[in-house]
Amino acid sequence: MSALTQALWVLLLGSLLGLELIGKVPPTLHTPLMSGANAISGITVLASLTLIAQANGQVPLLLLGSLSLGFALFNVVGGFLVTDRMLAMFSRKSSRSGGAR
Amino acid sequence: MALPNLLPALIDLVAVLLLALGIKGLSKVSTARSANGLAALAMGLAVLGLLIEQPLSAQAWLWIAIGTGIGGLLGLLTAQRVPMTAMPETVALFNGCGGMASLLVALGVAIYSPGGAPGLVEQISIVISVFVGAITFSGSIVAMGKLQGWISTPAWTQNSLRHAVNISLAVACLAGAITLPGSMAGAPLWVLLLASSLLGIGVTLPIGGADMPVVISLLNSYSGVAAAAAGFVVGSQLLIVAGAMVGAAGLILTQVMCTGMNRSLVSVLFGGALGGVAPVGGGGDEAGYTRITSCSAEECALALEAAERVVFVPGYGLAVAQAQHALRELSKLLELHGVEVSYAIHPVAGRMPGHMNVLLAEADVPYEQLLEMDTINPEFPRTDVVIVLGANDVVNPDAKTDSSSPLYGMPVLEVDQARQVFVVKRSLGAGYAGIKNALFELPQTAMVFGDAKAVLNGLLTELRSMGIGKK
């Protein structure tokens, strides 16, 4: 199997998995889910790192890679933390029994 | 496969598994928080696998440190500082930056060809990556600006001129895309980049504030597609899987949101702002209402005092007035008095589905009291008092009965079934949809004019002066 065919299979199966994973989500979780999925799309950090690794000392490439890494990590770090901030509120609710506070 | 290559490959596999489990876990309340952590762990593993696999020079490490330091720190600060009410804008901003990252990688590969001359597959991937990445970035920034109120909807975007503009831009993108393989770093690349960026603006600018969450969700899906395309560009299967998963999941989420608002994706994207810039049929004018009863906080408090079952319907106006905490106070007081209190949450309450739940959770409202539309609708006939706070279109009974209404067919909270309805509102101005609300004129409805927080505090004072909450 050529690298391209393999990559296309990966694309197809990944898409199908994505369609299946969030079939039934309570509306409560739409905002955190959107924000969490958004953080995951920052996985493009891998592409930024690859670009830097392949730069071979070319400064413009290193600069582009670093800039791209910065944008991607802003997405990843901010996305995961803000999602956690939202979800922390929900879990505090469900773990606490009535009457406290 | 040689043994030294096995470890990064295994790490990648584990990372994909954890990412999938993370997305799945995010769709259940009980597991959502740990799932988010799991996805973050997966991301860390994926990066680790890559760093093991790729030999890096000291110079490369330096640039990685710079990018990581600046991006990570800004992300950390933003995540900590941003208020919960501004969540939709924040997601839009993060999302745009993800698109920008994919775009920059594609530009780097196109201009400098670090891994040798790109083959046809790489060229196609570069085109997709630049196109989708640029649209995601410019579209998200416009979406953020509109939600923040920095950008309004220009009048020219509401007529057919915008279709002409967008079609021209799309043609320019196509021309750039087709001629790109001939000269990788030449003019076609810049034409494609510029036209895609403008197209992102041209498509997002005409869309009204109410539809913006759908757009953000769609752009979120795009940033997954951009990441998958970047995966083809640099030859990373992990990136392809993760990008594809997010892209597909984002599409589903977009569809769910559209269903909740009774809008089709096509009408959101091409139909312009609902109600247009000029409200249809004079709706939104105070003069449009004839049989309005208004009442004071005191009368409302008396009704609450006598009620056995009270339902609050919070909307975005509640969050804008920062009145969640006052509302929680009031409901605690009523519960102490033996009143059964619950909250009716429309699927699109707030500015994003689920946004209202987050805002109420922030104010310590118990999760079990937040009832979804399908659960609460059959309960309204046996509800004594409904208080609508800063919600409008989601309680409009016209959506069920008047087939000429633009809202017709949208699932609404059937508050008109309750014995008594109080609507807390600043004025008789129209909601997002820019149309009249028949609920306001019903005999059982009374308007309590004022800022949500001020009214709630007024109710608290009245109830306390009646001796409720004291032994």
For residue A22, how many other CB atoms are within 10 A of its CB? 22
Question: Which range, B142-156, B158-172, B230-244, has the best average confidence (pLDDT)?
Answer: B230-244
Q: Are the C-beta atoms of A66 and B66 separated by less than 8 Å? A: yes
Q: How far is CA B321 from the centre of its chain?
A: 19
Residues with Cβ within 8 Å of residue B287, at least 6 apart in sequence:
none
How far off is chain A from B62, nearest CA to CA, in Å?
Answer: 9
CA angle A39, A44, A48 (to 5 degrees): 135
Residue B306 CB coordination number (10 Å): 11
Cβ atoms within 10 Å of B278's Cβ, excluding its own: 10
Whether the CB of B173 is below 8 Å from some CB of chain A: the reply is no
Confidence class for position B440, pLDDT limits 50, 70, 90: confident
Average pLDDT over residues B194-205: 91
- Mean local confidence (pLDDT), B234-262: 85
pLDDT tier for residue B262 given thresholds of 50, 70 and 90: low
Question: Smallest Cα–Cα separation from B341: which of B320, B377, B365, B325?
Answer: B365
Closest listed residue to residue B41, CA positions, set B86, B11, B7, B80: B11
Nearest to A48 among B22, B105, B223 (CB): B105
Average pLDDT of the residues in A4-23 = 86
What pLDDT, in 10s, does the model give residues B50-89?
Answer: 888 888 888 899 999 999 999 999 999 999 998 888 888 8
**Looking at per-residue confidence, does B287 or B160 come out higher?**
B160
In tens, the pLDDT along B344-356 reads 988 777 777 777 8
Q: How far apart are CA B445 and CA B288, in angstroms?
A: 17
Average pLDDT over residues A77-90: 89
Q: Is the pLDDT of residue B172 over 60?
A: yes
Between CA B436 and CA B340 the distance in angstroms is 31
Confidence of residue B274 (pLDDT cuts 50, 70, 90): very low
The C-alpha atoms of residue B447 and residue B300 are separated, in whole angstroms, by: 10
Q: Please report the sign of the dihedral spanned by the C-alpha atoms of residue B412, residue B415, residue B421, residue B424.
A: negative
Distance CA A49, CA A65 (A): 7
- Which residue among A33, A87, A88 places its CB closest to the CB of B27? A33
CA–CA gap between residue B370 and residue B152 (Å, rounded): 33
Residue of B28, B358, B394, B413 to mutate for A, most A C-beta atoms under 10 A: B358
Measured CA to CA, the distance from residue B214 to residue B355 in angstroms comes to: 13
Quote the CA–CA distance of A60 and B94 in Å, as a whole number. 25
Q: How far apart are CA B246 and CA B227, in angstroms?
A: 9
Interface test with B, best of A2, A9, A38 (most B CBs within 10 A): A38
Q: What is the dihedral sign for C-alpha B354, B356, B360, B365?
A: negative
> Residues B211, B393, B416, B451: which is the catalytic one?
B393
